Structure 1
Amino acid sequence: MTATAPVEDFATELRELAQTAGAWPFEEARKIVERLKRKPKAEVLFETGYGPSGLPHIGTFGEVARTTMVRHAFHVLTGDTIPTRLLCFSDDMDGMRKIPENVPDPAALKPYLQMPLTVVPNPFGGGYASFGDHNNAMLRRFLDTFGFEYEFASATDYYKSGKLDSVLLKAAEKYEAIMEVMLPTLGEERQATYSPFLPISPTSGRVLYVPLKAVDAKAGTITFTDEDGVDKTVPVTGGQVKLQWKPDFGARWAALDVDFEMFGKDHQTNAPIYDRICEIIGGVAPEHFVYELFLDEVGQKISKSKGNGLTIDEWLTYASPESLALYMFQSPRSAKKLHFDVIPKAVDEYYGFLARYSTQDWKNRLGNPVWHIHSGNPPAIDLPISFGLLLKLASASNAEDKAVLWRMISRYAPGVTAETHPHMDQLAGYAVRYFVDRVKPRRVFRLADEVEADALARLDAALAPLDGTDREAIQNAVLDVGRGIERYQDHKKKSPTGGPGVSFAWFSALYELLLGEKEGPRFGTFVAAYGIPETRALIARALSGELTKGAA
């Protein structure tokens, strides 16, 4: 046996397990493997599309993250024997059809409506030549920060440099066939003026949605009436025209020989059109993956122009990129709300999956999201306190500096420091920011009623003699108080002594009265971390009414 044999044996075993792995990236990767049997290639191209009409949002990142997961799964399935590329393609030659609501001085952009996004002036400053360039840079900045391996492509560059000339000439040759695909999908009025080619006006520079007077496939030109009323003839090559978005989708697939592209459910009904146009122009349509769209807090579809969803920067203010990648991995075919309140859960779920990874066999590891998030190499991280608990500690202590949290972390987990646990330190910083920005302004404390006041007094007495290091004793004391009060008894549950159990109403009351929130962590764990003297002081403030006066 050679020195490399164990490594080779492991790679073979992993590849065999991947053949039947149930995680969705493997399902998609197996489709590409089957595609290569029908259409052998020396290299596989993954593509994602991006419309830079507004600032990039998390859905855009999700396409790249999810595609990267499929790409890695493909490498495992094939033993890393077939090279791949990931091309992030920006449709920055599209005309600006409306002014986004979230730009400074929207009126200044009005003269540039319908002009290509890479011609529209940049309203944000920062040295970028155009609105499209700025938005492209914002996307690349995050992708680079996360460490994605990708190539960036600009539609403007591809059209003007001639990289798409061959498919544009082919589209002119197949003009009638393309029209036969497109016209049945349009209303009667739109049919009368539709053209797959959108000329760039030599007069105004705008992207024109005008009917064509002639298409000369042999000369590679189109003729149309320009905005000045004069008929113009321009070549379809060299960036003087662009394709309508549906033909553009299919033509790009053909031009680049794309093997895999995912897109949102809003594209699903158009997918057969994209496929057919790709085939007409001489290509083979790629494998598709359709994901559900993200919704905002009230259930409306997230829109770049409205700016009603979380931005990439907003998520990263309060949590790590890995937690965001987990949110993208989970249930991509189910509609999910994407707003600030989902962040804490995503953070704790990420670390939960990470903690379980080291105890799993390889079959289960291939289904663990962190294996896909970290391309098969998840880090080993010891996290003694959850993000959810850190948030409650920040709330109880009104922490505006992570040093406050570190005093409690050190009490709860002796020997743990910012130097020994840098991820814990990072999480403490996130927790403080999230508390100050998102929790503190929304806390609502209320006065205890007679039963609740008695319950808090009993809890105070029960905690007084306890050693703060015995977490189970603290939790049992909290439970015992709840069991002794009729309001908080749950007769469907049984206590260890055979009496009634404790209803969640007891813990809800504690969260509302002491923290001003509807829910929280295991209360005994909170007390152990926050401290018994500190918890008793908090109870005293609740009983005195001080918390409801905004002094918290």
Structure 2
Amino acid sequence: MVLEAPQIIGRGTWLDKVASEILDREKRLGRNAEILRVESGLGASGIPHIGNYSDAARAYGVKLALETMGARAELIAFSDDKDGLRKVPAGLPKTLSKYIGFPVSSIPDPFGCHDSYGVHMSGLLLDALDKTGIMYRSISGTQAYKDGLFNQQIDKILTNAVRVGEIISETLGQEKYTEVLPYFPVCENCGRIYTTRALEYVRERHVVRYSCDGMELRGETLNGCGHKGEVDVFSGDGKLSWKVEFAARWSALKINYEAYGKELIDSVKANDRIMEEILHEPPPYHTRYEHFLDKTGAKVSKSVGNVLAPQLWLRYAPPQTLLLLMYKRSVGSRAIWVKDIPTYIAELDELEDVYFGRREVKDPRELARLRGLYEYVWRLSPPKSPSVHVPHNLLVYLVKVAPKSREKEFVLEKLRGYGYHFDPEDRRFQERLEHAANWAKEVETIATNTIQIQPAERDAMLELAGIINASDDENYLQNAIFTVARKHNLQTGALFKALYRVLIGSDSGPRLGPYILAMGRENVAMALAAAARMATK
């Protein structure tokens, strides 16, 4: 029996698969929404990092995939700026500690450039979305509560607080909300939000009675002021606990899709049940994603301070590389740091070669996936022709050795000498040069290119790594390559070619003696040793 090849969905990427599943679900539910909405929550409690950005970027990718399948769609970027500050993030002024427990939208901006701390932090993430061409509708949580966007949902949840508490207990094993309401009033006396306990809901007047008793926050006691009062839950002077707020948002905003991190699995389950059992609506379609890790393998976190900001990435590489990081796959945690950026520059070049037929891919499904991936990283508006792929390391080297008075002219002359043909006024070429210049001046590392090398070449590289660390004479280093080639019975040209591929990403390049000194002996030695280690795996 001949099996038919699996059908390619959309452009063949995971984004298309998710979009197809959303549309199938909407059809099963008998809904015919005029517009499908995907949501991403924007944390406003600290400096946004790659992980925060990824949530919105991936949601936008799903939005694009929905549109390619004929649906109208939009991304809702919801700022959690009504949340309280739980901890002063690393690197921010310790004076902020007096605002622990306050809504971040009521904390002054420590940098003095925005209306509040919360607006500043969420603004940084919106800036990253803007810089990468992501279109969205921004909603402030503070403003949403003030405008009454969630009034209907708040009333239903608080009216059914006993059942809500049972759902949270059954799903999360947390008894707290069997004793208090899932709502945090802002204390009218001290201004804090996390120190209050909502004790009773008076539905006729839509008010909650509360006491400011304090709470345990990250293992420490945050004292309340002791005030007892009541707050109109339709006034915006409070917020739902996030254990129920997702459901309120999904209902009020008519959200069809939202992804979540694995640490939120149980909370999403609780909110899904609240959608179904309390609000009597189907919850959105979900997918789960893994976190990005730092170079030590720890989860990237605003409070810890191991943050790789999207803006930093964009100093060294084009927006398409950042979207490539987000869209190439959806599962599995990944360690990512600044030094990995050149890898994605090279990968984008390879993807472009596939898209324009300069690199053959025989498997039709893989070809469709790679072509689709290229179109998504260009937000479905890919260029009409490929760019000139000058290796990142070569540009970095040329910038390092260029006379400061004529840096650009020097680099262009050298590239022409190496046989590169380019339009110096081409915007993509200019951006590549600018990114490499930023890297050369700000980052002390070499991107190691992974190549196939022979055992003798591997041994020669390891020996050269030791020699490089022992001498700072460029002629000695240049001659050492010839000596090591002979010692390991290698053709000199073959060893030079392997070295250029590892260090520059090209078959040829500048004299390696001066290159080694310009790029830093330790950096080059580490790059060669790393390439040799990878070859032994």
**Interval of TM-score (by shorter of Structure 1 and Structure 2):** 0.7 to 0.9
Indicate yes or no: 2:250 matched with 1:253: yes
Between the aligned partners of 1:24 and 1:441, the Cα distance in structure 2 is: 32
Distance 1:454 1:536 in 2: 5
Alignment of 1:349 with 2:375, yes or no, is no
Deviation at 1:183, TM superposition (A): 2.5
Cα separation, partners in 2 of 1:194 and 1:301, compared to 1, 3 Å = farther
Aligned-partner SS, 1:261: coil
For 1:446, the equivalent position in structure 2 comes to 469
Worse-superposed segment, 355-364 or 47-56: 355-364
Q: Partner amino acid for 2:412?
A: W
Q: C-alpha separation between the residues in 1 aligned to 2:482 and 2:225?
A: 82
Residue-by-residue CA offset, 1:289-308 (whole Å, 9 max, x unaligned): 21110011111100112221
Coordinate RMSD, CA, aligned: 3.5
Provide the residue aligned with 1:25 in structure 2.
15
Q: Which amino acid aligns with 2:82?
A: M
Residue 373 of structure 1 aligns with which residue?
377
Counterpart for residue 151 of structure 2: 165
- Alignment equivalent of 1:292, drawn from 266, 285, 290: 290
Would you identify which runs of 4 or more consecutive aligned residues in structure 1 move more than 4 Å? 185-194, 360-363, 392-395, 440-445, 452-455, 534-539
1:135 maps to which residue?
Answer: 121
User: Aligned partners of 2:304, 2:253: CA distance in 1, in Å?
Assistant: 32
Give the direction of change, closer, same or farther, for the CA distance of 1:238–1:58 in structure 2 (3 Å limit).
Answer: same
CA 1:547–1:354 in 2, change beyond 3 Å: closer, same or farther? closer
- Tell me how far apart the structure 2 counterparts of residues 437 and 19 of structure 1 sit (CA, whole Å): 43
Q: 1:167 touches 1:281 (CA, 8 Å); kept in 2?
A: yes
> What residue number does 2:326 align with?
328
Match of 1:101 in 2: 90
Matches of 1:434 and 1:458 in 2, distance apart? 27
What does residue range 484-503 of structure 1 map to in structure 2 within 5 Å? 484-486=486-488
Shift in alpha-carbon separation, 1:191–1:255, aligned structure 2, 3 A:
closer
Distance 1:386 1:281, change over 3 A: same
Alignment partner for residue 231 of structure 2, among 234, 241, 244?
234
Cα distance 1:221–1:262, how it changes in 2: closer, same or farther (>3 A)? same
Distance 1:388 1:17, change over 3 A: farther
Instruction: Write the distance in 1 (CA, Å) between the matches of 2:313 and 2:477.
Output: 41
Q: Deviations over 1:486-515 (max 9, x none)?
A: 3x65xxxxx9xxxx997x8x888x68xxxx
Q: Which amino acid in the other structure matches residue 97 of structure 1?
A: R
User: What is the SS of the residue equivalent to 1:525?
Assistant: coil
Equivalent residue letter for 1:139: L
Q: Which whole-Å CA distance do the structure 2 matches of 1:298 and 1:373 have between them? A: 28
Q: Is the 8 A contact 1:193 1:211 kept in 2?
A: no
**Counterpart in the other structure of 1:319:** 317
How far apart are 1:248 and its partner, in Å? 0.7
* Residues 1:230 and 1:388: Cα distance change in structure 2 (over 3 Å): closer
1:87 paired to 2:76: yes
Moved more, 361-370 or 292-301: 361-370
Q: Which moved more, 1:409-418 or 1:33-42?
A: 409-418
Change beyond 3 A, Cα 1:188–1:535:
closer
More deviation, 137-146/182-191:
182-191
Give the CA deviation at 1:36: 1.8
Q: CA deviation at 1:448?
A: 6.0
- Is 2:211 the partner of 1:221? no
**Pairing partner for 2:259 from 257, 262, 275:** 262
Q: What code does the residue aligned with 1:54 have?
A: G
Conserved 8 A contact 1:410-1:417: no
Further displaced range: 406-415 or 146-155: 406-415
Q: 2:101 aligns with which of 114, 121, 124?
A: 114
Mapped contact 1:215–1:223 kept (Cα < 8 A): yes
In structure 2, the CA distance between the partners of 1:416 and 1:218, relative to structure 1 (3 Å rule), is: same
Aligned to 1:520: 503
**Aligned equivalents of 1:166 and 1:288: distance in 2?**
24
Q: Tell me the CA shift for residue 18 of structure 1.
A: 5.7
CA deviation after TM superposition for structure 1 residue 283, in Å: 2.5
Q: Which residue in the other structure is 1:51 paired with? A: 43
Query: Aligned partners of 1:547 and 1:345: how far apart in 2?
Result: 21
Pairing of 1:389-408 with structure 2 (within 5 A): 389-394=394-399, 397=401, 401-408=407-414
Match of 1:12 in 2: none
1:432 paired with 2:419, answer no
Q: CA deviation at 1:125?
A: 1.7
SS of the residue 1:255 aligns to: helix
Q: TM-score normalised to the size of structure 2?
A: 0.79
Per the alignment, do residues 399 and 161 of structure 1 end up closer, same or farther by CA in structure 2, a change over 3 Å counting?
Answer: farther
Give distance in 1, aligned partners of 2:164 and 2:175: 18
The count of residues paired between Structure 1 and Structure 2 equals 474
Q: Which residue of 2 aligns with 1:383?
A: 388
Distance in 1 (CA, whole Å) between partners of 2:206 and 2:514 is 81
* SS state at 2:209 partner: strand
For 1:123, the aligned partner's letter is: P
CA distance in structure 2 between the partners assigned to 1:390 and 1:525 by the alignment:
13
Task: From the superposition, tell whether residues 250 and 416 of structure 1 become closer, same or farther in structure 2 (CA, over 3 Å).
Answer: same
Q: Which residue of 1 aligns with 2:301?
A: 303
Corresponding position of 2:185: 199
Shift of 1:535: 4.9
- 8 A Cα contact 1:409 1:416, kept in partner: no
Give, in whole Å, the separation in 1 of the partners of 2:349 and 2:174. 55
Q: Distance in 2 between matches of 1:98 and 1:454?
A: 52
Counterpart secondary structure, 2:470: coil
- Distance in 2 between residues matched to 1:354 and 1:23, nearest whole Å: 16
Change (3 A) 1:148 1:435: same
Contact 2:258/2:284, CA 8 A, preserved across alignment: yes
1:405-453: CA deviations, max 9, x gaps? 222212123553422x33222212211221222126999942369xx96
Q: Displacement, 1:239? A: 0.8
Asked whether the equivalents of residues 169 and 175 of structure 2 are also in contact (C-alpha less than 8 Å), the reply is no
2:420, 2:17 → 1: CA distance? Answer: 45
TM (normalized to structure 1)?
0.77
Partner-residue secondary structure (3-state), 1:234: strand
Distance 2:376 2:505 in 1: 30
